[in-house]
């Protein structure tokens, strides 16, 4: 089957979960990243610990882990996977833009199985970003979530992938 084939559809055009039962088990890892843009004043409040809803970065990282664990409930055709590791890291980047602070979110997911963990890493990253928005929206409605993408993956038949910088 070519990589261009839409394998979530059967020969009659009906949607189905891809059958991975004949695929070999292998170690798989995926890393996703994204950015949350916000006002500098919001960044200062997060770093000073003065947000009313609590420790924004710790809660976002935990939410990302939970998001990865629930991916198959959110994305209809994802296989439920036994995740062996999920980590989410939120850190502010230096910025030349005085108006906007940039929060980088990086999520890593690992498993040993018959299908990859890209969706779990992407869901972790997205869930963490949405949590930042939720915890800060009362003081900054201009928060923007952007550039969520797969950064790298390893394992499986299609091999390794590394996104362009």
Q: Which residues are catalytic?
A: 134
CB neighbourhood size of 104 (10 A): 14
State the Cα–Cα distance between residues 56 and 63, nearest whole angstrom.
Answer: 10
Strand pairing category for 26-39 and 144-154: antiparallel
Q: Which residues pair with 37 in a beta bridge?
A: 102, 144
Return the structure tokens found at 101: 């602070």
State the Cα–Cα distance between residues 68 and 131, nearest whole angstrom.
Answer: 14
Q: In 66-130, which ranges are E strands?
A: 83-93, 100-113
CA-wise closest residue to 139 among 17, 52, 66, 69: 52
């Amino acid at each position: 089957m070519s990589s261009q084939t839409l394998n979530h559809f059967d020969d009659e055009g009906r949607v189905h979960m891809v059958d991975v039962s004949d695929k070999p088990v292998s170690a798989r890892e995926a890393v996703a990243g994204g950015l949350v843009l916000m006002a500098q004043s919001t960044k200062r409040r997060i770093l000073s610990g003065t947000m009313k809803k609590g420790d924004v970065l710790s809660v976002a990282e935990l939410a990302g882990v939970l998001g990865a664990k629930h991916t198959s409930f959110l994305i209809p055709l994802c296989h439920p996977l036994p995740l062996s590791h999920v980590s989410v890291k939120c850190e502010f980047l230096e910025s030349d833009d005085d108006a906007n602070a940039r929060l980088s979110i990086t999520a890593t997911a690992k498993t040993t199985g018959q299908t990859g963990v890209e969706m779990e890493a992407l869901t972790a990253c997205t869930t963490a970003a949405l949590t930042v928005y939720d915890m800060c929206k009362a003081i900054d409605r201009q928060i923007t979530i952007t550039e969520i993408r797969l950064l790298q993956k390893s394992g499986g038949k299609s091999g390794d992938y590394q996104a362009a910088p």
